[in-house]
Amino acid sequence: MPNTSIGSFDLGVRLTSADRFQMSGELDSSLLEGVDRLLLMAGGLAVGQLVPSRPDGPKLVFCIPVHDRDALQEGEILHLAAAKGGEVVTLGGLPIATRITGALDRCNEALVRGWAANLNCPGYPLEIEVLLNGRSQGVVTADRTRSDLQRMEKRVAATGFLFKFTPPIDVSAAVPLEVTARVRGTDIVLANSPWWIRRSYDVLPVLTVHHD
């Protein structure tokens, strides 16, 4: 198998994106001959893999998920390699550049609604962790189709999520309640976090009166 270089159509490999969640691209099906696995490599370690199937057409389009995000740093080179028997051949690499978008758009004592997408590979859904006052309440997958997201941008149409508190939060106690949503396994927090469900004040707030 030839040792190909980054993003080269002539050599049969084109890498389009690499981030802490995945690597995307395409390669000539001829390069898959005898290949057992496609590997994502960082720092000499395998951080993701795909067992390729023979494509119907001349190219395999792929999005290989990363299974060890803690091993990756922004700007580090993520390599694509092919394992063939006992041999591992590097096919190319890209610097890691994560591009996440998303926000909370509704929260109350019963539910949390929002959306989140990996702009490098919107078809690969993100998992969102919901926290209440800093404590994890559970995880939800951002894969719901929403018409408002479709109108905003077609590629993020199926990146909505809806998380339900079971049972609903008790809001009768005079304690602050704030919701934060972040991409699972990362410190990436969605816009509009924290969202206050209930706030309390120790002193009376003095409001400013504006005169026309």
pTM over 0.85: no
What are the pLDDT digits (tens) for 27-72?
888 888 888 899 999 988 999 999 988 777 788 889 999 998 888 8
Percent of the chain with pLDDT over 90: 61
Overall fold of domain 100-198: Immunoglobulin-like (2.60.40)
The domain limits of the chain are: 13-95, 100-198
Per-residue confidence (pLDDT) for residue 202, from 0 to 100: 74
Q: ∠120-93-77 over CA atoms, to 5°?
A: 85
What are the pLDDT digits (tens) for 116-153?
999 999 988 999 999 999 999 999 999 999 999 999 99
**Quick count: other Cβ atoms within 10 Å of Cβ 181?**
30
> If pLDDT is split at 50, 70 and 90, which confidence band does 85 have?
confident
Q: What does the buried/exposed string (b/e) look like for 142-169 if buried means 16 or more CB atoms within 10 Å of the residue's CB?
A: bebebeebeeeeeebbbbbbebebeeeb
Cα–Cα distance for residue pair 144/156, rounded to 1 Å: 10
> How is residue 59 written in tokens?
């190219």
